Amino acid sequence: MIPQGKQRLGINIDHVATVRNARGSAWPDPLRAAILAEASGADGITAHLREDRRHIHDADIEALRAGIGIPLNFECAATDEMAAIALRIKPHAICLVPEKREERTTEGGLDVAGDENRLAQFIAPLRDAGCRVSMFIGHDERQIRSSARIGAAVVELHTGHYSELHAEGRFDEAEAELAALREGAALAYSLGLEVHAGHGLTFDNVAPIAAIPQIMELNIGHFLIGEAVFMGLGAAIEEMRRRMDAARA
Ligand code: PXP
């Protein structure tokens, strides 16, 4: 059995805030981007409130929570500070990610297996508050089984390594990584987890990921915000949607 229904496209708007913060001005406004994304067919908005607030700020999260009509996926590290914010905001979903100050982006998956007891306790109140909690992990079996054991609703599989291999033209290795992602998606789904994927996805590499039947949602940010410079954000989202649908047809 594979899940039914359309694969959702979540848009990560962090890098609208990156451009805004480069000047310390009020524009471009992430909320405006989110509203445009919604109007262009996005099924959700992801925003990552990092500990160092390098892109999204607390006020952006408040504005997004109040200003969009599609689900907000609040991405954060598993810290007490973020739990308090999440419990106040009560977003539709919370995606837990590892965070290192020195990294440029989320480099690897969360080590759920190595931190199982703490994470089980961490997510319990978030679940009780009605949020769908997602673990951003690699495709390895240990992390998937741990995520199921602690009661996460969702796992988001990290596609960053696949995307890098694809961009470097290392297609045999990208194919092997894809096979592992397919296996991971099937295992997660068999354990009752909803399966999402994201990181580094582009027009050129999205199709094989979108075609994995168990994956119900893709979260895509950096490429689309960049492409918006050339074709506009709405058109970029529509083109991504078209490619996802074609891959699944
Ligand atoms: N999903 C998660 C959990 C992420 O951390 C990110 C990057 O912030 C994305 C998806 C989107 O990745 P990208 O910006 O490379 O499309």
Q: Closest Cα partner for 159 from 248, 78, 71, 220?
A: 220
What pLDDT was estimated at residue 106?
72
Does 134 sit in the ligand 1 pocket, CB within 6 Å?
no
First and final CA of the chain: distance in angstroms?
Answer: 17
Report residue 104's pLDDT band, with 50, 70 and 90 as the boundaries. Answer: confident
Residue 101, pLDDT > 90, answer no
pLDDT, tens only, 185-210: 999 999 999 999 999 999 999 999 99
Residue with CA nearest ligand 1 atom 9: 199
pLDDT, tens only, 9-52: 999 999 999 999 999 999 999 999 999 999 999 999 999 999 99
Sign of CA dihedral 226, 99, 210, 161: positive
**How far is residue 145 from each of residues 91, 107, 135, 213, 217, measured CA to CA in Å?**
25, 21, 11, 20, 20
Report residue 3's pLDDT band, with 50, 70 and 90 as the boundaries. Answer: confident
Q: Rounded CA gap, 207 and 25, in Å? A: 37
What pLDDT was estimated at residue 207?
98
Instruction: Domains for the chain: give ranges and CATH numbers.
Output: 8-223 (3.20.20.70)
In the annotation, is 92 catalytic?
no
Mutational test site, ligand 1, from 14, 48, 52, 106, max ligand atoms within 8 Å of CB: 106
Which one from 48, 55, 161, 196 is the annotated catalytic residue?
A: 48
**pLDDT mean over 75-83:** 98
In the annotation, is 199 catalytic?
yes
pLDDT, tens only, 228-239: 999 999 999 999
Which one from 15, 38, 55, 75 is the annotated catalytic residue?
A: 75
Report residue 107's pLDDT band, with 50, 70 and 90 as the boundaries. Answer: confident
**pLDDT mean over 62-86:** 98
Does 223 sit in the ligand 1 pocket, CB within 6 Å?
yes
Does 47 sit in the ligand 1 pocket, CB within 6 Å?
no
**Nearest-atom index, ligand 1, CA of 75:** 3
What pLDDT was estimated at residue 82?
98
pLDDT, tens only, 154-180: 999 999 999 999 999 999 999 999 999
What pLDDT was estimated at residue 108?
81
**CB neighbour class for 168 (10 Å; exposed up to 12, middle 13-18, buried from 19):** exposed
Do the bridges between strand 154-158 and strand 194-198 make them parallel or antiparallel, or are there none, so unpaired?
A: parallel
Does 76 sit in the ligand 1 pocket, CB within 6 Å?
no
Report whether 98 contacts 109 (CB < 8 A): yes
What pLDDT was estimated at residue 116?
97
pLDDT, tens only, 131-148: 999 999 999 999 999 999
pTM above 0.95, yes or no: yes
In the annotation, is 75 catalytic?
yes
